[in-house]
Amino acid sequence: MSDRIILHCDLNNFFASVECYLDPSLKDKNVAVCGSVEERHGIVLAKNESAKKFGVKTGEAIWEARLKCPDLVTVPPHYDNYVDFSRRVKSIYEEYTDMVEPFGIDECWLDITGSTTLFGDKMKIAEELRTRVKNETGLTISVGVSFNKVFAKLASDMKKPDAVTLLTEDDIKTKIWSLPCNELFGVGRKTAKHFNSLGIKTIGDIAEMPEDIMNRIFGKNGITLRNYANGIDFSPVLRENEVPPVKSVSRGITCKRDLHTYKDISPVVISLSEKVSHSLRKNNFFATTVRVAVKDNKLAVHEFQQKIKTPARAADILYKNAMELIKKNYFFFLPVRAVTVFAGNLVKDNFSYQLSLDEDYNMLEKLEKIDAKVDFLREKFGSDVIVRASTLKLNERERIQSAFPSFKPSDL
């Protein structure tokens, strides 16, 4: 376990740092990179260190951030610049090892196990990377040094900005187990809340939970998190051409107006289902589960999932399951701001499965053929060449119905 040397390099306040570097007038100001209010993306995407000290948080609404920091300077995102800087930083990493695995645009894991004979010990390499990134790009990184990916990432989060932190096996009980459980890689807000409700407060609590109980409550993910808490993680750092297997396909959208009813949300779900369906066909996958994430206008996310009776990728099947989940679980106590549809637990199109006596396989085949024809037409003539009536804007529906009185969009 201790033979590997893994680094986790995290660009500090990345979007905001790039904006401040390119516009020196922002250097001594409280800066936040924010989405467009007009397009319903009016949230904080990133903030610089000084804005962070006022309590400005990623993901909160701009008006909330301004309450905490009245002189906050907001700037729009410039994604081309972020991609350019990300590539420049990654090229520095690749001078030390070819085993570089991006984790988003601003983070990378590096396996430098075989690099020490050329470049010196692990701390020398980490410090050299930190210094070079600062000198050559004007940005800073936090570097975590450890014996696996999970603890390397944990280490990089412990001291920011512009720092190097080492975690060894000897640190597991003394430095790591006392940390809150939500600081462990893989523990999101929802899982942390579930842990806390069970009296599991720290990473050490996770580590000492009996395996059978973790499996019973959280399934395989519970066992994985217990292993992480005990320092057990053998996952490799993947080179750029070593792509991990696809586990799910998703499409989401932030709506330009709040959705208040199932009738409002239905056209959004069918449009997203069509996009997921197209991606599944393009990559020769079938889905065995459907998951929906609904974000309300207070930015709380509600997720629901269910298995599909027969592996499928037809848009109508994905839509039917997604809407079924929403109607069973979401009751519009708050209007909906954003929706995402996921197709999960994917299997290849040559996958063998048990046939069901109550499934209409002829209908499934027809739906599959229709979707394939629609794909062909859209790829040849453009995405708008054929659309579902249910996704047409209201004025477009009225124009068609005036020309064809018998036309009923709800029937399609």
Q: Is residue 3 part of a domain?
A: yes
Q: Is residue 409 part of a domain?
A: no
Q: Is residue 235 part of a domain?
A: no
Q: Is residue 296 part of a domain?
A: yes
Q: Specify burial of residue 385 (Cβ count, 10 A radius: 0-12, 13-18, 19+).
A: exposed
Q: Where do we find the tokens 């004025």?
A: 395
What's the pLDDT band for 403 if we cut at 50, 70, 90? very low
Q: Which residues contact 295 (CB under 8 A, 6 or more apart)?
A: 254, 301, 302, 336, 337, 338, 339
Last residue of a domain, one of 167, 191, 206: 167
CATH number at residue 318: 3.30.1490.100
Q: Do 285 and 208 lie in a common domain?
A: no
Q: Do 161 and 96 lie in a common domain?
A: yes
For residue 230, give both structure tokens: 């005990």
pLDDT of the residue at 7: 98
Q: Is residue 401 part of a domain?
A: no
Q: Do 139 and 195 lie in a common domain?
A: no
Coil, strand or helix: which one is 298?
coil
Give 254-309 pLDDT, tens digit per residue: 888 899 999 999 999 999 999 999 999 888 899 999 999 999 988 888 999 999 88
Q: Which residues contact 162 (CB under 8 A, 6 or more apart)?
A: 12, 130, 134, 140, 141, 142
Of 249 and 375, more confident? 249
Of 385 and 343, more confident? 343
Q: Name which of 285, 284, 303 is nearest 294 in CA terms.
A: 303
Tell whether the model's pLDDT for residue 31 goes beyond 80. yes
Q: Name which of 291, 347, 285 is nearest 324 in CA terms.
A: 291
Q: Do 187 and 322 lie in a common domain?
A: no
Q: Name which of 276, 150, 161, 137 is nearest 224 in CA terms.
A: 150
Q: Do 179 and 316 lie in a common domain?
A: no
Q: Name which of 335, 224, 318, 240 is nearest 273 in CA terms.
A: 318
Q: Which residues contact 314 (CB under 8 A, 6 or more apart)?
A: 277, 364, 367, 368, 370, 371
Domain count, the chain: 3
Residue 230 region by backbone torsions, left for phi larger than 0, else alpha for psi between -120 and 50, else beta: alpha
Q: Which of 107, 274, 324, 359 is catalytic?
A: 107
For residue 6, give both structure tokens: 């893994």
Q: Do 180 and 154 lie in a common domain?
A: no
* Largest Cα–Cα separation, the chain: 79
Of 410 and 339, more confident? 339
Q: Is residue 67 part of a domain?
A: yes
Q: Is residue 388 part of a domain?
A: no
Coil, strand or helix: which one is 325?
helix
Active site (annotated) includes residue 208: no
What's the pLDDT band for 244 if we cut at 50, 70, 90? low
Q: Do 146 and 218 lie in a common domain?
A: no
User: Mean per-residue pLDDT for 61-72?
Assistant: 94
CATH number at residue 200: 1.10.150.20
Q: Do 221 and 252 lie in a common domain?
A: no
For residue 271, give both structure tokens: 């449009």
Tell whether the model's pLDDT for residue 202 goes beyond 90. yes
CATH number at residue 87: 3.30.70.270
d(CA 93, CA 82): 17
Of 220 and 10, more confident? 10
Quote the pTM value.
0.67
pLDDT of the residue at 121: 96
Tell whether the model's pLDDT for residue 396 goes beyond 70. no
d(CA 293, CA 314): 20
Last residue of a domain, one of 116, 145, 167: 167
pLDDT of the residue at 220: 85
Q: Do 146 and 182 lie in a common domain?
A: no
Q: Do 208 and 104 lie in a common domain?
A: no
pLDDT of the residue at 28: 92
Q: Do 215 and 269 lie in a common domain?
A: no
Domain that holds residue 219: 173-229
Q: Is residue 38 part of a domain?
A: yes
Average pLDDT, the chain: 88
Q: Do 188 and 53 lie in a common domain?
A: no
d(CA 386, CA 376): 11
d(CA 271, CA 389): 11
pLDDT of the residue at 349: 67
Sign of CA dihedral 56, 154, 249, 329: negative
What's the pLDDT band for 358 if we cut at 50, 70, 90? low
User: Mean per-residue pLDDT for 182-196?
Assistant: 92
- Pairing, β 301-312 against β 285-296: antiparallel
Q: Name which of 199, 166, 167, 186 is nearest 228 in CA terms.
A: 186
What Rg, from alpha-carbon coordinates, does the chain have? 25
d(CA 278, CA 256): 24
Sign of CA dihedral 31, 35, 37, 38: positive
